[in-house]
Amino acid sequence: MGAGFQVFNDSGNIQIDADYSNYVMTGKGTSTTGAGSEFTGNYAAIGSGKKNSIIAIRSSTFAYVFNKLDSSGNVVHYVFTFGGAGSFDWWVFAADPPAPTNSGFEVYNAQGQVVFSANGKYLKLLRFDTVAVTAGTSGSVSTPGKNPAWVSASFCALLEGVTVAVPGGVQSQGILRTLMGRSVSGGIEYKSDTIYTFGSNRGTSDNAYASFMTIDVDNL
């Protein structure tokens, strides 16, 4: 913004701006994945009740997330655990402006909406990383002194022309591969894996990337 209220951090990045609304926590909990009727695999559906939300998860089991809209246009976050059922902690953040509380420090935009409230708990970004989604992708990111959650890339790479083992030999097929992660003390581990294999090949492509955020959820 050219004029108005702004707050910067020590690195010169804007933290509060009267023209923008930060992602604020709207819900949290613990859930366990299991078999369901909508998809194959072990998953749990977390409805946000918001038009524009993201979910941060903390799981000791490798997990990934896909999102879709419900009949009201609100986001439902589907968390899948890889290799079996598992429990996970979750935090939902939404860009919806918080409701006025008429207490504490609040910042309004020109339309009279609250874009920051000291009563809210806001998303605190520790890292933003982009990695390749290939057959051998694996690694970790470090957040010393933190026990973080991560925001999944919600990304699936369609890879055609990948050679896979089949009975009696190998065959060139198309596969869906995604990036998944799990929380460890002081960081996040990630890896890619195949979640679906097609019976035919329609081309050749193995050049995909995914981005994910590491979030500080201590004391939320």
* Contacts of residue 17, Cβ cutoff 8 Å, sequence gap at least 6: 1, 4, 5, 6, 7, 115
CA separation for the pair 83, 198 (Å, rounded): 20
How do residues 175-190 score in pLDDT, each as one tens digit?
Answer: 778 889 999 889 999 9
Q: Where are the domains of the chain?
A: 13-117, 127-215
Query: What pTM was estimated for this model as a whole?
Result: 0.80
* Contacts of residue 38, Cβ cutoff 8 Å, sequence gap at least 6: 45, 78
* Contacts of residue 2, Cβ cutoff 8 Å, sequence gap at least 6: none
Beta strands in 70-203 (DSSP E): 75-81, 87-94, 106-108, 114-117, 125-132, 138-142, 149-151, 156-166, 169-184, 187-197
Q: Which residues of the chain register pLDDT less than 70?
A: 1-7, 11-20, 97-100, 103, 153-174, 198-207
How do residues 78-102 score in pLDDT, each as one tens digit?
Answer: 999 988 899 999 999 998 766 667 7
